[in-house]
Amino acid sequence: MHQTEFNYQRKDLPAGFSKYGLIFLVAGIVLAVASFFIDQTRAAFNYLIIYMMIVSIALGSLFLIALEYVAGAEWSTPFRRIPEFFAGLLPVLFVLVIPLLFFSHDLFHWAHEEAIKEDKILQGKAPYLNISFFVIRTLVFIAIWVLFYFILQRNSRKQDTSKDQTLTTKNIRFSAAFIPIFAITITFTAVDWLMSLEPHWFSTIFGVYYFSGTVIAALAAVTLVVVVLKEKGYFNPWITDDHLYSFGALLFAFVNFWAYIAFSQFMLIWYADLPEETFWYLTRWEGSWVIFSLLLIVIHFIVPYAMLLSQPSKMDPKRLKFISVWLLFAHLFDLFWLVMPNMQPLKKGYIFSWIDLVFPILGIGIVLTVFNFISRKENLIPVGDPKLKKGINFHL
């Protein structure tokens, strides 16, 4: 069989990663701290959005790694390091979550004792929605993710030198164990941090809804980095049009999946018209929120769907770069749409504040800096992975 030559030499990431990462991080921290002093509640809500965005990218990446092992996928092996680096954000979550725990009173209606006293339904939920259990859950979940991240990542790096195939077997087993745990933890993370912002509302599909966005965010982040690095020559000639096509196809598939889940949730609630469910959507139909709701459909579904529909567009690097930035924004917008209408002063409609623009800067700073930090001294390609050769010679 004709083989693509493989002679990988490690190169440092482009300097832009550390430079822009640092600039964004410093600017982000300064602005974020300032905004906390100006409007604590609003800053807390915005910080929550960015926190969830980072969870999406990090946890989604870990899921992509596990999926590769479990499904026995080969095409994604050459760039598996990229999701591994993104998953390196998971240990950072321990630090990032601290401010949220401090500001939980600003975020969560159920954290107010006087509110629970008057509310029979919240009393019923109190065994689950209370601060101590909430904190324990959050920390345990992060610990579990970090544990699996360390195992999968360490085995993968060990393989760079040892080329030991049993490490792949081990990782397959851990990945198989991780996926059900992932399903449960991500569901309750979504319930805790997003659904319980409106503690009276409930939807069984909500975990799946957040999961669909998570995968899009992680895939888009990985696609963006791979395409950028390929253009700078880091992955040449091992990542071909066929790999890019697979990225495009997967993004397309998950855009559809998100739309399917979002539509299912909306349709069922709209159709049954039960007041205990519809009010959540009605809040998002109130005042100027209606524009956001309609824009969400356009941004998160119609535009990416149209842009990825045709076969050539799925492997066009320029378009992939654009669409992955777009989809990252779309997921951020989705989180914004989920979170912000729960903020008391914004219930009747959106009021602009510069604080909303600050936190994405902080998010970009954190992601870039951590990515750069984790990836230093590491091979960008898992050179010892037994599936690598097949991955490089991947043809549709």
Partner 1 sequence: MNKNLYGFAALFKTPDEIIEAAKKTAEAGYQKYDIHSPYPVHGIDRAMKLKASKLGFITLVFGLTGSAIALLLMYWTMSVDYPMIIGGKPFFALPAFVPITFELTVLLATLATVIGMITFFFRFPENDHPLHDTEYMKKVSCDHYGLVIEAKDKLFNETKVRELLNSLRPLSIEEIYYPEKETYPVLETKFVTFLILIALLTSGVTYFALNKLLYMQPFTWMMDQPKLNPQKQSTLFADGYGMRAPVKGTVARGFLPYPFTGQNAPTDVLLNPYLPTKENLQLGEQKYLTFCSPCHGNFGDGDSRLRGQFPNPPSLHSTRAREFSDGMIYHIITNGQNVMPSYASQITREERWAIVNYIRVLQRAKNAKSSDLQVVNKETGTNASN
Partner 2 sequence: MHIDYSQEAPAVAGRLTLSQIEELVARPLDTKPDRKYFIALSISGSLLLLGAICLGISFYYGIGLWGNNQPVGWAVPIVNFVFWVGIGHAGTLISAILFLLRQKWRTGIARFAEAMTIFAVICAGIFPVIHTGRPWLAGYLLPYPNQHSLWVNFTSPLLWDVFAVSTYFTVSLVFWYIGLIPDFATLRDRTTSKVKKTIYSIFSLGWRHSSRHWQHYEKAYMLLAGFATPLVLSVHTIVSFDFAVSILPGWHTTIFPPYFVAGAIFSGFAMVVTVLVFVRKIFNLENIITLDHLEKMNKVILATGMMVGYAYGMEFFIAWYSGVQAEQFVFINRAFGPYAWAYWIMVSCNVIFPQLFWFRKFRRSIPVMFVIVILVNVGMWFERFVITVTSLHRDFLPSSWGYYKPTFFDMGILLGSFGLFFTLVILFTKSLPVVSISEVKAVADGAQPTHRGGHHE
Binding stretches for partner 2 (CB under 8 A): 1-2, 120-121, 124-125, 128, 165-166, 168-169, 176, 180, 183-184, 187, 191, 200, 202-208, 240, 249, 256, 260-261, 264-265, 267-269, 271-274, 276, 385-387, 389-390, 395-396
Q: What is residue 14's DSSP assignment?
A: P
Of residues 37 and 271, the one with the C-beta less far from partner 1: 271
Whether residue 237 is preceded by a cis peptide bond, meaning omega within 30 degrees of 0, is yes
Gyration radius of the chain over CA positions: 21
Largest CA distance in the chain: 73
- Residue 288, contacted partner among partner 1, partner 2, none, CB below 5-8 A by kind: none
Of residues 102 and 270, the one with the C-beta less far from partner 2: 270
Give CA–CA dist 150/169, Å, rounded: 16
As given in the structure block, the two tokens for residue 150 are 């360390």
Find where tokens 């770069």 sit: 321
- Residue 2, contacted partner among partner 1, partner 2, none, CB below 5-8 A by kind: partner 2
Query: What minimum distance in Å lies between the beta carbon of 318 and partner 2?
Result: 19
Helices and strands, counts by H and E, the chain:
17, 0
Of residues 37 and 273, the one with the C-beta less far from partner 2: 273
By the rule CB under 8 A, 263 interacts with partner 1: yes
Query: What minimum distance in Å lies between the beta carbon of 367 and partner 2?
Result: 29
Interacting positions 291-310 with partner 1 (CB under 8 A): 310
Give CA–CA dist 288/362, Å, rounded: 26
- Residue 310, contacted partner among partner 1, partner 2, none, CB below 5-8 A by kind: partner 1
By the rule CB under 8 A, 270 interacts with partner 1: yes
Task: Please choose, from the candidates 39, 41, 138, 158, the residue with its C-alpha nearest in 3D space to the C-alpha of residue 98.
Answer: 138
Cβ–Cβ < 8 Å for 110, 196: yes
Task: Please choose, from the candidates 61, 53, 257, 88, the residue with its C-alpha nearest in 3D space to the C-alpha of residue 175.
Answer: 61
Coil, helix or strand at residue 59? helix
Of residues 127 and 344, the one with the C-beta less far from partner 2: 127
Give the residue, chosen from 267, 294, 295, 298, that forms a contact with partner 1 under the rule CB under 8 A: 267
Selected range binding partner 1 among 47-55, 101-109, 264-272, 322-330, rule: CB under 8 A: 264-272
Query: What minimum distance in Å lies between the beta carbon of 312 and partner 2?
Result: 13
Instruction: Find how far residue 82's CA is from the centre of its chain.
Output: 14
- Residue 226, contacted partner among partner 1, partner 2, none, CB below 5-8 A by kind: none
Query: What minimum distance in Å lies between the beta carbon of 270 and partner 1?
Result: 6
By the rule CB under 8 A, 290 interacts with partner 1: no
Cβ–Cβ < 8 Å for 182, 66: yes
Which residues, including other chains, have CB under 8 Å from residue 390's CB and lie 6 or more apart?
A: 74, 77
Selected range binding partner 1 among 56-64, 174-182, 186-194, 267-275, rule: CB under 8 A: 267-275
Give the residue, chosen from 118, 273, 344, 377, that forms a contact with partner 1 under the rule CB under 8 A: 273
Give CA–CA dist 173/159, Å, rounded: 16
Cβ–Cβ < 8 Å for 211, 315: no
Q: How long is the chain?
A: 396
By the rule CB under 8 A, 311 interacts with partner 1: yes
What are the residues binding partner 1 (CB under 8 A)?
263, 266-267, 270-271, 273, 310-311, 395
